[in-house]
C-alpha cells in the first residue's frame, strides 16, 4: 500500500483577516492563536486529534498580506503492510460478509495479543481497580491485566472456571472446579480460600445484600458467601451451571441443566422453581423490561421469565448456547452454536437473525460503541454486531479457540481469552455512539470555532491598539515633525507659503 495525505474541506473558515496586518508579525500570531485554540478545544472534549493533523491555508493579496485563513483537517494513509484497515475497508468487509455498509464502521482490529497462562477460559473486569482478571484453567492462576500489560499473576485454585467481582468489598471470587473451593483475590493478592460444594462452575454477586452465590455443579447446591465465609448452602436442581442476578426484584436465578428448571433464590432461601425448556445452559437479565431469558440448548428455544412465571417461549436457532443483554437498544442476543447465527429478541419476539462465525459460544456488550462482540470458537474470530441496525459490521481475527471476553469501560477495549493459543486478544475500537453537538457542530468543532473567534478578536484588538498609538502626537520634548510631504533629510525646498 502506498502512503499519502488527504485533506478535506475547510472545517473552520475562511476567516477574514482583521485589518491589513503583515505576515511577519500579526499573521504569525493569528495562525498560532487559531491553531492552539482548535487543538485545545478538541483535547478538552477528548477528540482524537492524533488521528490526523490540521493544515492552515491562507489567501493573500499581491503584497503577501493574508486576507483570509482556513483550517483543514488532513489524514495520512498508512503505508506499512499489516497496518490497521480504514473505515472503507471495514465497510467492504462487512458487505462481503452479508452485513450492510450503509454507515461508516469504526476501525476493527486485533490490536495486540497478550501472553497469559495455559488455557485461558474466563475474563472479568473490576471497576474498582480497572483490572481485567483472566482465569487460566491449565496453569491454575489468574493473569491480571492493566491496559496492555500483565500487572501480575496470581496463583488460584486448580481449574478456575468462573469469577465474579464484589463491588462492595473489592474482592474477586474465583471458583475452582477441581478442589471445590473459591479463591478470594484483592488487587493482585490472594486474601482467602473458601471451601464450597462439589465442582463449582459459576458465581454471581448480589449487590443488594452483598452476598456471592456459587453454583456447585456436582453437589447440586449453591454456596452463599459473605466476605470469606459460607453463611448458607441452598439445595437447587440437578447440575446448576449458570446464574444471573435480577436487580429489579432482588432474585438470583440459577439454571439447572440436568433438571431443566430454574431455581429462584432470595437472600438465604430458595423461593421457588420454574420449569423451562430442555437443558438450560445460559441465562440473562433484561433490566429494561425486568425479564429473565433462559437459553435452552436441547429444545432450541428461550424461556422468558417474569418473577417466578414463564410468560413466553421464543423459538431461536439450533442449540442456543449463550445469551446476553444489550442495554443500549434493549435487545437480548442469543448465540445459536449449531446454526452459526444470533437471534435478536425484543420483549417476547425475535426481531432479527445475524449470521456469524462457526460455533458462537460467548458474547460481550460494549456500551462505549453500542456493539455486541460474538466469539466464534471454531473459526477463531469475533463477529461484531451493530446495535443500531442489528447487522454485522465487521469481523476480527483473534487467537485459537476464543472462549471468554470482558469489556473494559475505562479504556474501551474488549479482551478476548483464547483457550488454544494461551493469550488474550485486545480489540480496540473508537467510541461511535450518538454524536454530541455544540452550536450545531460536533463538540470539538464547536469549541474550535469559539477559540477561533476569540483569536480573531485578540488580533483585532492588537491591531487597533497599534493604530491608535500611531495617531497620537509626539511625546513632550520631541523635535517638531517636518511638514507633510517632506522628509527631514531631504534637500527639496518646502512648499511656498499660501
Domain residues for the domain of 353 are: 87-428
**489 belongs to a structural domain:** no
Question: Do 316 and 204 share a domain, yes or no?
Answer: yes
Question: Do 98 and 73 share a domain, yes or no?
Answer: no
**495 belongs to a structural domain:** no
Question: Do 207 and 174 share a domain, yes or no?
Answer: yes
**347 belongs to a structural domain:** yes
Tally of structural domains, the chain: 2
* Grid cell listed for 77: 494513509
The C-alpha atoms of residue 338 and residue 344 are separated, in whole angstroms, by 16
The C-alpha atoms of residue 73 and residue 455 are separated, in whole angstroms, by 19
* Grid cell listed for 423: 493469550
**296 belongs to a structural domain:** yes
**496 belongs to a structural domain:** no
Question: Do 119 and 135 share a domain, yes or no?
Answer: yes
Question: Do 28 and 166 share a domain, yes or no?
Answer: no
Question: Do 182 and 311 share a domain, yes or no?
Answer: yes
Question: Do 119 and 241 share a domain, yes or no?
Answer: yes
pLDDT in tens, the chain (498 residues): 434 444 544 544 554 544 444 444 555 555 555 555 555 554 444 433 333 444 444 454 444 444 455 555 444 333 333 333 333 333 333 333 333 333 334 445 445 899 999 999 999 999 999 999 999 999 999 999 999 999 999 999 899 999 999 999 999 999 999 999 999 999 999 999 999 999 999 999 999 999 999 999 999 999 999 999 999 999 999 999 999 999 999 999 999 999 999 999 999 999 999 999 999 999 999 999 999 999 999 999 999 999 999 999 999 999 999 999 999 999 999 999 999 999 999 999 999 999 999 999 999 999 988 999 999 999 999 999 999 999 999 999 999 999 999 999 999 999 999 999 999 999 987 544 444 444 555 444 565 667 667 777 777 777 776 666 666 555 556 555 554 444 444 444 445 555
**416 belongs to a structural domain:** yes
Question: Do 54 and 119 share a domain, yes or no?
Answer: no
Is 213 within 8 Å of 224 (Cβ atoms)?
Answer: yes
- What CATH number corresponds to the domain at position 325? 2.130.10.10
Question: Do 385 and 356 share a domain, yes or no?
Answer: yes
**463 belongs to a structural domain:** no
Nearest to 338, CA basis, from 381, 299, 283: 299
Q: What is the pTM of this model?
A: 0.68
Question: Do 112 and 65 share a domain, yes or no?
Answer: no
Is 374 within 8 Å of 353 (Cβ atoms)?
Answer: no
Question: Do 156 and 262 share a domain, yes or no?
Answer: yes
Question: Do 334 and 451 share a domain, yes or no?
Answer: no
**467 belongs to a structural domain:** no
**Dihedral (CA of 78, 84, 87, 89) sign:** positive
Amino acid at each position: 500500500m502506498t502512503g499519502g495525505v488527504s485533506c478535506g474541506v475547510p472545517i473552520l473558515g475562511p476567516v477574514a483577516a482583521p485589518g491589513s496586518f503583515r505576515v511577519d508579525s500579526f499573521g504569525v500570531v493569528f495562525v498560532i492563536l487559531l491553531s492552539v485554540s482548535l487543538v485545545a478545544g478538541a483535547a478538552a472534549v477528548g477528540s482524537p486529534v492524533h488521528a490526523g493533523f490540521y493544515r492552515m491555508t491562507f489567501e493573500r493579496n499581491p503584497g503577501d498580506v493574508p486576507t483570509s485563513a482556513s483550517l483543514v483537517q488532513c489524514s495520512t494513509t498508512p503505508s506499512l503492510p499489516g497496518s490497521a484497515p480504514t473505515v472503507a475497508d471495514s465497510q467492504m468487509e462487512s458487505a462481503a460478509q452479508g452485513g450492510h455498509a450503509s454507515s461508516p464502521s469504526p476501525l476493527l482490529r486485533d490490536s495486540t495479543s497478550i501472553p497469559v497462562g495455559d488455557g485461558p477460559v474466563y475474563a472479568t473486569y473490576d471497576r474498582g481497580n480497572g483490572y481485567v482478571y483472566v482465569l487460566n484453567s491449565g496453569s491454575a492462576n489468574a493473569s491480571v491485566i492493566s491496559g496492555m500489560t500483565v500487572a501480575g499473576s496470581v496463583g488460584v485454585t486448580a481449574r478456575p472456571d468462573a469469577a465474579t467481582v464484589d463491588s462492595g468489598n473489592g474482592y474477586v471470587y474465583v471458583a475452582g472446579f477441581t478442589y471445590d473451593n473459591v479463591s478470594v483475590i484483592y488487587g493482585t493478592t490472594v486474601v482467602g480460600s473458601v471451601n464450597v460444594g462439589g465442582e463449582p462452575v459459576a458465581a454471581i454477586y448480589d449487590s443488594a445484600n452483598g452476598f456471592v452465590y456459587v453454583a456447585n455443579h456436582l453437589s447440586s447446591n449453591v454456596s452463599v458467601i459473605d466476605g470469606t465465609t459460607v453463611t448458607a448452602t441452598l439445595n437447587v436442581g440437578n447440575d446448576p451451571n449458570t446464574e444471573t442476578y435480577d436487580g429489579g426484584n432482588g432474585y438470583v436465578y440459577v439454571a439447572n441443566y440436568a433438571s431443566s428448571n430454574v431455581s429462584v433464590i432470595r437472600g438465604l432461601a430458595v423461593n421457588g422453581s420454574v420449569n423451562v425448556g430442555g437443558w438450560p445452559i445460559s441465562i440473562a437479565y433484561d433490566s429494561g423490561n425486568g425479564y429473565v431469558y433462559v437459553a435452552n440448548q436441547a429444545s432450541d428455544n428461550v424461556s422468558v421469565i417474569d418473577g417466578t412465571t414463564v410468560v413466553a417461549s421464543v423459538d431461536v436457532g439450533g442449540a442456543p448456547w449463550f445469551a446476553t443483554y444489550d442495554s443500549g437498544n434493549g435487545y437480548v442476543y442469543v448465540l445459536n452454536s449449531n446454526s452459526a447465527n444470533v437471534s435478536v429478541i425484543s420483549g417476547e419476539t425475535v426481531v432479527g437473525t445475524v449470521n456469524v462465525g462457526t460455533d458462537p459460544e460467548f458474547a460481550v456488550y460494549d456500551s462505549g460503541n453500542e456493539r455486541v462482540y460474538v466469539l466464534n470458537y471454531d473459526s477463531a474470530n469475533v463477529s461484531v454486531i451493530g446495535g443500531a441496525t442489528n447487522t454485522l459490521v465487521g469481523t476480527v481475527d483473534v487467537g485459537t479457540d476464543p472462549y471468554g471476553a470482558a469489556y473494559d469501560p475505562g479504556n474501551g477495549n474488549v479482551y478476548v481469552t483464547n483457550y488454544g493459543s494461551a493469550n488474550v486478544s485486545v480489540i480496540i475500537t473508537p467510541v461511535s455512539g450518538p454524536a454530541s453537538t455544540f452550536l450545531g457542530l460536533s463538540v470539538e468543532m464547536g469549541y474550535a470555532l469559539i477559540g477561533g473567534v476569540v483569536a480573531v478578536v485578540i488580533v483585532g484588538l492588537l491591531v487597533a491598539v497599534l493604530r491608535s498609538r500611531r495617531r497620537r502626537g509626539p511625546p513632550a520634548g520631541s523635535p517638531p515633525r517636518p511638514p507633510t510631504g517632506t522628509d527631514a533629510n531631504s534637500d527639496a525646498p518646502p512648499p511656498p507659503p499660501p
